[in-house]
């Protein structure tokens, strides 16, 4: 697959309106949509009223006094004075609504038998969720002394215990910090230290493509790294998933099942009445510096935003079977596996393993097995499935799907069409929902929850959500015309907005509000986007030093600082390189210290080093290239645009705007040198 210019590719789709089969009578005119949208954003009062109408639909221990306090921007406080609890909304409230015996989660383990049928399936009802999270809450509180406001680190794979621990922590008013189980010991340690966690919850292992991955060993290593930094992990709770051998420190380690066994039968732990702007969780994400930042989310605003967007975008009804294929270690899993769907009393699928195990038809087989009606996945997964002959998917009946969205990165129209046709049978409402860890929930997309939809267009992110305003602007903040690339900014606060960055309010202001300070309080997304003549959004990719590898958000500086920790590496520069399947892959230019020779062995060693310091997410796809020197400006800044141009196989282009202090000849020379090095790989 050839990588084409994304702007041109998307512009070709501006007028390709597609009406999915069966939705003909539900198509809304653009005029009606705009009228509806404009009503919600007419002024500040309309915006508040709009979000208040959603808040009225969920349970509160105490009603809010004020919808939005924006007196100290950008520290917005939503539903001030209100009290609720995410665990209460996801469990107790569901029991009250008569869903006690309804299946909440159908979990499938990765291993299959000779016939290809899953060896392990667990079904948890809403009563199970409620009871088990109560029991976990009981020992967290009474045995491990977890207090309201404390943050506990979860390093768990895709097993039901992960949402159970999240709910248990919400129940007692503690925050969670979930670290994706594909991250390395070092990445885990950095996050545990920053969160101030004294407890890590993990599993013995997990199945991944037929092999057991020993997670406990990674945690042991992380605990050691924490200790080296003077941070003590007092307890490691281990869920026995696989039964693999693990090393054990009896003073520190404790089995999940042993803690459970001591809990009195049928305990009820009272739900903490959480203030609307108490913290529900932090989730680390990548930015443009080496240090990951902890996006800190609220209780009330987040709950309302998740309740609203889940309804708008997924339209989950009681008889739906919903499946979001994300890992709970990322925001998509937090919001649209755990909190959003459970708040709506959904029945959902959760899957432990790889999408192509035992073969790439696994997902199609699962959609058929459970009759999935709503599906949510990532473009990178779709492109990976597209590599195989369609017949393997057509063997399975996926015609139950009525909604099939994507998230995480731009979806190229070709992949959108394939997904819509092969999985969706041209019947699905399929949108590319744009949002970020920081936004808490979805911000763009088609809106089947209203009972009507706008026609689809391959590759578009659709209109912005009602109750939110945005602009696509140039560097100065002036709007750019349709079809032109600009920066994507959100110009009014919304309830899912992160509260701040954990322990770093200054950085919070700088990162999200620094760029357009002269225009007012505009949230800077860090994305390039354009609008079309209908006012719909087309996000083109990151405008900063963040890359999206298979939908995973990685800071190039994180990669660089990991690389230079290796004794052989003098300097490293990382840029994104387009990839037909992964979206982007990290291309890392490395210069070596004196005494080290370029060799394939060293390249392999650097890859292992990357795996150990960041994790397999980055390491497995990284292209490592040795160069004699990195192209730099006189003040020592790496010429990233030059490196990017080389990576994309593009000509250097207009050098005069490259870096004002670089001589044109020098830049051209550097370009040729780097290009030659890349070709030699």
**Cβ-based nearer residue to ligand WTA, 436 or 639:** 436
**Cβ-based nearer residue to ligand WTA, 285 or 556:** 285
- How many residues sit in the footprint of ligand WTA (CB under 6 A)? 22
Applying CB under 6 A, the span of 345-353, 406-414, 494-502, 659-667 interacting with ligand WTA comes to 406-414
Question: Cβ of residue 540: shortest distance to ligand WTA, in angstroms?
Answer: 8
Which whole-number Å values give the CA distances from 503 to 20, 30, 76, 178, 436, in the listed order?
47, 44, 17, 17, 20
Among 285, 309, 428, 625, binds ligand WTA (CB under 6 A): 285
Q: Does 556 bind ligand WTA (CB under 6 A)?
A: no
**Cβ-based nearer residue to ligand WTA, 187 or 236:** 187
Residue 124 CA to residue 292 CA, distance in Å, equals 34
Question: Cβ of residue 285: shortest distance to ligand WTA, in angstroms?
Answer: 5
Among 132, 150, 278, 409, binds ligand WTA (CB under 6 A): 409
Q: Does 408 bind ligand WTA (CB under 6 A)?
A: yes
**Cβ-based nearer residue to ligand WTA, 292 or 526:** 526
**Cβ-based nearer residue to ligand WTA, 118 or 424:** 424
Q: Does 410 bind ligand WTA (CB under 6 A)?
A: yes
Alpha helices by DSSP H, listed for 294-409, are 300-309, 331-333, 340-343, 362-370, 379-385, 391-394
Applying CB under 6 A, the span of 70-78, 265-273, 369-377, 405-413 interacting with ligand WTA comes to 405-413
Q: Tell how strand 321-324 and strand 347-351 pair up.
A: parallel
Residue 371 CA to residue 188 CA, distance in Å, equals 37
Q: Which are the contacts of 278, defined by CB distance < 8 A and separation ≥ 6?
A: 149, 173, 298, 299
Applying CB under 6 A, the span of 221-229, 254-262, 418-426, 522-530 interacting with ligand WTA comes to 522-530
The 419-448 contact track toward ligand WTA, x by CB under 6 A, reads -------------xxxxxx-----------
**Cβ-based nearer residue to ligand WTA, 153 or 285:** 285
Among 526, 583, 586, 615, binds ligand WTA (CB under 6 A): 526
| Bridge partner list, 531 | 537
**Cβ-based nearer residue to ligand WTA, 313 or 592:** 313
Q: Which of 234, 249, 148 is nearest to 199 (CA)?
A: 234
Question: What phi, psi does 359 have (nearest 5°)?
Answer: -150, 170
Query: What is the footprint of ligand WTA within residues 293-352 (CB under 6 A)?
Result: 330-332
Q: DSSP letters along 585-631, please?
A: EEEEEEEEPTT----HHHHHHHHHHHHHHT-HHHHTT-EEEE-SS--
Question: Cβ of residue 71: shortest distance to ligand WTA, in angstroms?
Answer: 28
Q: Which are the contacts of 145, defined by CB distance < 8 A and separation ≥ 6?
A: none
**Cβ-based nearer residue to ligand WTA, 90 or 407:** 407
Is residue 400 reached through a cis peptide bond, with omega within 30 degrees of 0 on the bond before it?
Answer: no
Q: Give the H or E element holding residue 397.
A: none
**Cβ-based nearer residue to ligand WTA, 334 or 632:** 334
Question: Cβ of residue 411: shortest distance to ligand WTA, in angstroms?
Answer: 7
The vertex-453 CA angle with 448 and 456, nearest 5°, equals 110
**Cβ-based nearer residue to ligand WTA, 77 or 553:** 553
Q: Does 525 bind ligand WTA (CB under 6 A)?
A: yes
Question: Cβ of residue 434: shortest distance to ligand WTA, in angstroms?
Answer: 4
Q: 3-state class of 230 per DSSP?
A: coil
Q: Does 204 bind ligand WTA (CB under 6 A)?
A: no
Residue nearest to ligand WTA (CB): 437
Residue 677 CA to residue 628 CA, distance in Å, equals 9
**Cβ-based nearer residue to ligand WTA, 82 or 555:** 555
Alpha helices by DSSP H, listed for 237-330, are 256-261, 300-309
Question: Cβ of residue 205: shortest distance to ligand WTA, in angstroms?
Answer: 26
Question: Cβ of residue 429: shortest distance to ligand WTA, in angstroms?
Answer: 15
**Cβ-based nearer residue to ligand WTA, 408 or 631:** 408
Tell me if 201 sits within 8 A of 211, measured CB to CB. no
Residue 179 CA to residue 219 CA, distance in Å, equals 11
**Cβ-based nearer residue to ligand WTA, 386 or 547:** 547
Residue 543 CA to residue 560 CA, distance in Å, equals 18
The vertex-432 CA angle with 428 and 434, nearest 5°, equals 145
Q: Tell how strand 486-490 and strand 321-324 pair up.
A: unpaired
Residue 584 CA to residue 621 CA, distance in Å, equals 9
**Cβ-based nearer residue to ligand WTA, 204 or 409:** 409
Question: Cβ of residue 629: shortest distance to ligand WTA, in angstroms?
Answer: 31
Applying CB under 6 A, the span of 10-18, 118-126, 519-527, 671-679 interacting with ligand WTA comes to 519-527
Report the largest interatomic distance among the alpha carbons of the chain, rounded to a whole angstrom: 77
Question: Cα 473 to chain center, whole Å?
Answer: 25
Q: What is the DSSP letter of 272?
A: P
Q: Does 539 bind ligand WTA (CB under 6 A)?
A: yes
Among 254, 350, 407, 550, binds ligand WTA (CB under 6 A): 407
Question: Cβ of residue 313: shortest distance to ligand WTA, in angstroms?
Answer: 11
- Reading phi first (left if > 0) and then psi (alpha if -120 to 50, else beta), residue 135 is in alpha
Question: Cβ of residue 324: shortest distance to ligand WTA, in angstroms?
Answer: 11
**Other beta carbons within 10 Å of 35:** 10
**Cβ-based nearer residue to ligand WTA, 84 or 432:** 432
Question: Cβ of residue 269: shortest distance to ligand WTA, in angstroms?
Answer: 32
Rg (CA), the chain: 25
Q: 3-state class of 76 per DSSP?
A: coil
Report how far apart the first and last C-alpha atoms of the chain are (Å, whole number): 21
Among 131, 191, 311, 542, binds ligand WTA (CB under 6 A): 542
Q: What is the DSSP letter of 19?
A: -
Q: Which of 330, 327, 370, 373 is nearest to 351 (CA)?
A: 327
Question: Cα 610 to chain center, whole Å?
Answer: 21
Q: Does 553 bind ligand WTA (CB under 6 A)?
A: yes
Question: Cβ of residue 523: shortest distance to ligand WTA, in angstroms?
Answer: 11
Q: Does 403 bind ligand WTA (CB under 6 A)?
A: no
Question: Cβ of residue 619: shortest distance to ligand WTA, in angstroms?
Answer: 19
**Cβ-based nearer residue to ligand WTA, 20 or 526:** 526
Q: Does 457 bind ligand WTA (CB under 6 A)?
A: no
| Bridge partner list, 123 | 106
Q: Does 621 bind ligand WTA (CB under 6 A)?
A: no
Question: Cβ of residue 539: shortest distance to ligand WTA, in angstroms?
Answer: 4
Question: Cα 170 to chain center, whole Å?
Answer: 20
Interacting residues with ligand WTA (CB under 6 A): 285, 330-332, 407-410, 432-437, 461, 525-527, 539, 542, 548, 553
């Amino acid at each position: 697959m050839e990588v084409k210019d994304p702007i041109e590719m998307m512009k070709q789709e501006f007028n390709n309106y597609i009406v999915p089969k069966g939705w003909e009578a539900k198509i809304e005119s653009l005029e009606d949509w705009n009228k509806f949208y404009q009503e919600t954003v007419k002024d500040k009062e309309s915006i508040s009223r709009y979000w208040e109408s959603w808040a009225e639909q969920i349970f509160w221990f105490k009603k809010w006094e004020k919808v939005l306090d924006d007196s100290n921007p950008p520290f917005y406080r939503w539903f001030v004075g209100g009290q609720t609890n995410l665990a209460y909304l996801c469990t107790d409230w569901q029991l009250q609504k008569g869903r006690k015996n309804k299946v909440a989660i159908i979990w499938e383990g990765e291993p299959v038998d000779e016939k290809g049928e899953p060896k392990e399936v667990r079904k948890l009802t809403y009563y199970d969720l409620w009871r088990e999270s109560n029991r976990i809450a009981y020992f967290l509180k009474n045995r491990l002394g977890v207090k309201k406001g404390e943050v506990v680190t979860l390093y768990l794979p895709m097993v039901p215990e992960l949402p159970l621990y999240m709910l248990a922590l919400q129940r007692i008013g503690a925050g969670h910090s979930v670290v994706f189980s594909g991250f390395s010991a070092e990445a885990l340690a950095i996050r545990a230290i920053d969160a101030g966690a004294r407890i890590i919850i993990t599993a013995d292992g997990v199945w991944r493509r037929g092999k057991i991955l020993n997670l406990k060993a990674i945690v042991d290593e992380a605990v050691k790294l924490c200790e080296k930094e003077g941070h003590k992990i007092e307890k490691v709770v281990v869920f026995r998933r696989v039964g693999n051998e693990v090393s054990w420190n009896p003073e520190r380690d404790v089995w999940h099942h042993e803690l459970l066994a001591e809990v009195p039968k049928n305990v009820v732990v009272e739900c903490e009445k959480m203030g609307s702007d108490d913290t529900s969780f932090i989730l680390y994400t990548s930015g443009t510096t080496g240090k990951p930042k902890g996006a800190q989310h609220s209780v009330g605003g987040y709950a309302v935003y998740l309740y609203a967007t889940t309804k708008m975008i997924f339209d989950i009804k009681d008889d739906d079977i919903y499946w979001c294929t994300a890992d709970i270690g990322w925001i998509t899993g937090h919001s649209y596996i755990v909190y959003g769907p459970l708040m709506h009393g959904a029945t959902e699928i959760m899957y432990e393993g790889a999408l192509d195990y035992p073969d790439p038809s696994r997902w199609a087989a699962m959609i058929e097995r459970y009759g999935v009606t709503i599906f949510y996945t990532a473009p990178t997964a779709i492109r990976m499935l597209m590599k195989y002959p369609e017949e393997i998917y057509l063997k399975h009946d996926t015609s139950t799907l009525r909604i099939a969205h994507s998230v995480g990165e731009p979806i190229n129209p070709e992949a959108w069409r394939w997904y819509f046709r092969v999985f969706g049978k041209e019947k699905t409402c399929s949108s590319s929902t744009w949002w970020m860890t920081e936004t808490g929930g979805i911000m763009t997309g088609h809106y089947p929850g209203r009972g009507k939809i706008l026609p689809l267009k391959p590759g578009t992110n659709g209109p912005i959500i009602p109750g939110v305003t945005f602009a696509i602007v140039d560097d100065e903040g002036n709007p750019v015309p349709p079809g032109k690339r600009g920066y994507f900014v959100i110009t009014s606060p919304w309830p899912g907005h992160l509260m701040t960055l954990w322990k770093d309010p200054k950085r919070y202001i700088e990162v999200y509000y620094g760029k357009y300070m002269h225009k007012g309080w505009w949230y800077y997304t860090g994305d390039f986007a354009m609008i079309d003549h209908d006012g719909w959004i087309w996000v083109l990719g990151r405008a900063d030093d963040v890359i999206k590898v298979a939908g995973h958000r990685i800071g190039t500086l994180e990669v660089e600082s990991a690389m230079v920790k290796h004794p052989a590496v003098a300097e490293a520069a990382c840029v994104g390189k387009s990839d037909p399947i992964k979206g982007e892959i990290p291309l890392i230019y490395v210069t070596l210290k004196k005494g080290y020779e370029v060799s394939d062995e060293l390249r392999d060693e650097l890859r292992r080093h990357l795996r150990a310091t960041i994790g397999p997410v980055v390491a497995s796809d990284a292209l490592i290239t040795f160069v004699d020197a990195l192209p730099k400006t006189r003040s020592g800044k790496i010429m990233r645009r030059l490196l990017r141009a080389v990576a994309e196989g593009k000509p250097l282009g207009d050098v005069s705007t490259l870096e004002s202090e670089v001589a044109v000849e020098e830049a051209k020379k550097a370009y040729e040198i780097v290009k030659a090095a890349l070709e030699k790989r």
